[in-house]
Each structure stands twice: as C-alpha cells, then as structure tokens.
Amino acid sequence: MVSVNVSAMKETNAPRSALASANACGKIVLFGEHAVVYGRPALAAPVKVVQATATVDRGQMGQGLWFEAAGLGKRSKLMDAPADDPLAAAVRLTMSHLNLTAMPDWLVTISSTIPIASGLGSGAAVSTALIRALAEAAGRDVTLAEVSALVFEVEKLYHGTPSGIDNTVVAFERTVYFIKGQEPQFLTIERSPTFIVADTGVASLTKIVVDEVRRGWLREPDRYKWLFDRIAQVVTAARAALVQGDEGGLGSLMNENHELLHQLGVSSGVLERLRNVALAAGARGAKLSGAGKGGNLLALVASGDEERVAVALRAAGAKNIIVTQVA
Ligand code: PMV
C-alpha cells in the first residue's frame, strides 16, 4: 500500500482569511484507455499546468455548508443538493470519512482551469482539491490513498463504471502503470518526453462513450476481447519505451494504440483530422486520449518541434493547446 501523508503536498496558497485551500492537477491517459475498464493495463500521467482549486472560508453562522463553483454556474447549500450531485457527494463522503458529525458553517469555493468533458480529468481534479481542502479545514490529515479512494466513489457518479485510473493519477500526481483492482505501479522515467494535448473543442462525456463500448463488447465479445488484448500488448511495450526513453518506439506505439481505438469505434472525424495534421507537422506519434469521440488528441513531439506542431494544430482548428512533459 502506497501511503504518503497528503499534508506534504498541500499547496500553501490559502488567502489569509481562508481556512484552507488545495489544488489538484489534470491528467492524460497515455495508453490503454477503454481496455483498462476490462482489466487490461493502462498508462497515465499528471498534467500540472492545469489545476482545480478548492478554498474553504468561514460562512455565516448557522447557515451550514455552502459550495460555489462559478465556472459551473453552481451555488448550493449542501443540505439541499441532490444525492447524485458530484460536488455534494464529495463533501458528504469526506465528512463521513473524517467522522465530522456537526455540520460546519463553511463556504467552499471551487475553480478550475481544466476543460470539462475533454479527457483531462476535470471531475477527478475538482473532487481531489475539494477533499484535500475539507480535510485541511477540519485539521485532519488524509493519505493520498484515502483521497484516491474517496475520489473513486465520486467518479462513479461521473463515469458509471470507472476503472480507477483518473483518481489514482490525480490524487498521487504521478505517472502510473495501472490495472483495475491492483496496487498502482508508479514509474520512474529517465528522459521526460514532451506531449502536445490538443483540444478538439468537442465535449464528450466519458460515461456515454464507455457505455457505447460496453454495448459493442456485448454484441461482439470475441472481436472486442481481441482488441483489448492487442491494446494490452501495446501498453506493455509502451511502459518499457517510456521508462527507457525510447521516443521513436513510443511514437509508433501511440499510432498503433490509436488504430485499435479507432477499431473500437471511439475516434471521430475531428480527431482523425487533427491527428493527420500533427503527424504531417512532424509529431512522432499521435492518438486520442481518454474516452474519445471528441476530447483531446495527444501528440508526442521531439524537442524543438513543439511550436511547429502546435501552430499546425491551432491552424487546423484545435481549440486549446497544452504542452506538457511526462516526468
Ligand atoms: O476520463 P477520461 O475521459 O479520460 O476516460 C478515462 C479512461 C477510460 O478508460 C475511457 C474510462 C476509465 O474509467 O478508465
């Protein structure tokens, strides 16, 4: 069991008047999405240039706990929020986990620079920041494993049947080789490859795409099993290439993984177009990342090629570009 005290990772950016404040990063799935839901391995990495932030302030006496997420157009009193509201669920689960029986008079404010429904783990990041800030405000320490387990419960509201990869990579903030139900294996990478994350601008809900794949698997179990097994082989090879710094190998494996995801039916016209543009501009490999049917394209670029590939992707209609290194 990996168990690190979360207080070591707490951000200290709480405004003077705030009781607590915490951040959490975004994430990208590098290899193995969808197959990971069916017990195959996957690789994912934190994206620290985008963040969700939760701040806890003292609210008005006797008013109970309120939460506000201006970006989501949400301001609710916890007592009035429906059971399946993910923010309310994160608060309730955390309070129950910390045995906080008396309702505190707190105002919890959430903000985020992570695009929603684009495969960057916005839901997991918001929950992680929220849980960390609540624990800090309550004067309690929670381990990274506890945060991850709580976020996993909230993820079920977003995803239905999450594999657990999003909560693991966001809560631990480390590059992970992940198999559902097993202890995560965190990787040490000698040379950090550079990736461009290009947003198609097409929002895609993970739950819907995961449900579509499940229907396909029920219809054609043999074909889907073959595809999941092939993806698993790619992930195993990609883990070795990532750890050894073999960028050429990594790029080819990204292309192979994308082709298999295409055969699973989770690519889209925009993803294919952006992928071709990235490869034509010199990316070493490119694939969709996350649930697909929109969301993000992930391209591996050699050092010095970032600008050229980013400019080409922007010209081809990518709505947002993030350059990130997997460390
Ligand atoms: O949250 P997303 O869109 O990056 O999807 C996560 C990866 C999936 O394999 C599609 C779902 C899961 O729970 O693993």
- Three state DSSP letters for 20-51: EEEEEEEEEEEECCCHHHHCCCEEEEEEEEEE
The pLDDT of residue 150 is above 90: yes
Are 104 and 143 in contact, with CB atoms under 8 Å apart?
A: no
**What local confidence, expressed as pLDDT, does residue 283 receive?**
98
Q: How much is the pTM?
A: 0.91
**What local confidence, expressed as pLDDT, does residue 279 receive?**
98
- Between residues 119 and 112, which one has the greater pLDDT? 112
- Spatial separation of the C-alpha atoms in residues 284 and 248, rounded to whole Å: 7
Does ligand 1 come within 6 angstroms of the Cβ of 167? no
- pLDDT confidence band for 17 (50 / 70 / 90): low
Angle among Cα 38, 322, 235 to the nearest 5 degrees reads: 25
**What local confidence, expressed as pLDDT, does residue 73 receive?**
78
Strands 285-289, 106-112: pairing kind:
unpaired
Are 258 and 264 in contact, with CB atoms under 8 Å apart?
A: no
What average pLDDT does this structure show over 75-103? Answer: 87
**What local confidence, expressed as pLDDT, does residue 318 receive?**
96
**What local confidence, expressed as pLDDT, does residue 80 receive?**
83
Q: Which of 153-162, 212-221, 301-310, 312-321 has the lowest mean pLDDT?
A: 153-162
- Spatial separation of the C-alpha atoms in residues 124 and 152, rounded to whole Å: 8
**What local confidence, expressed as pLDDT, does residue 191 receive?**
86
**What local confidence, expressed as pLDDT, does residue 300 receive?**
98
- pLDDT confidence band for 10 (50 / 70 / 90): very low
38: closest CA among 184, 216, 198? Answer: 216
In the chain, which residue ranges form alpha helices assigned H by DSSP?
86-97, 122-137, 144-159, 165-172, 206-219, 221-244, 247-264, 269-280, 306-315
- Between residues 68 and 73, which one has the greater pLDDT? 68
Q: Which of 59-73, 105-119, 136-150, 294-308 has the lowest mean pLDDT?
A: 59-73
Does ligand 1 come within 6 angstroms of the Cβ of 286? no
Atom of ligand 1 nearest to the CA of 29: 4
pLDDT tens digits, 172-205: 999 999 999 999 999 999 889 999 999 999 988 8
The pLDDT of residue 221 is above 70: yes
285-289 β-sheet, strand order: 285-289, 296-301, 194-199, 320-325
State in Å: Cα 289 to ligand 1 middle.
9
- Spatial separation of the C-alpha atoms in residues 185 and 204, rounded to whole Å: 28
**What local confidence, expressed as pLDDT, does residue 3 receive?**
32
Q: Which of 141, 166, 211, 222 is catalytic?
A: 166
* Mean pLDDT over the full length of the chain: 91
- pLDDT confidence band for 69 (50 / 70 / 90): confident
Does ligand 1 come within 6 angstroms of the Cβ of 163? yes
Atom of ligand 1 nearest to the CA of 162: 13
- C-alpha 105, offset from chain centre: 31
- Between residues 125 and 77, which one has the greater pLDDT? 125
**What local confidence, expressed as pLDDT, does residue 161 receive?**
86
Does ligand 1 come within 6 angstroms of the Cβ of 159? yes
Active site residue 166: yes
State in Å: Cα 311 to ligand 1 middle.
28
Look up tokens 């883990």; give the residue: 239
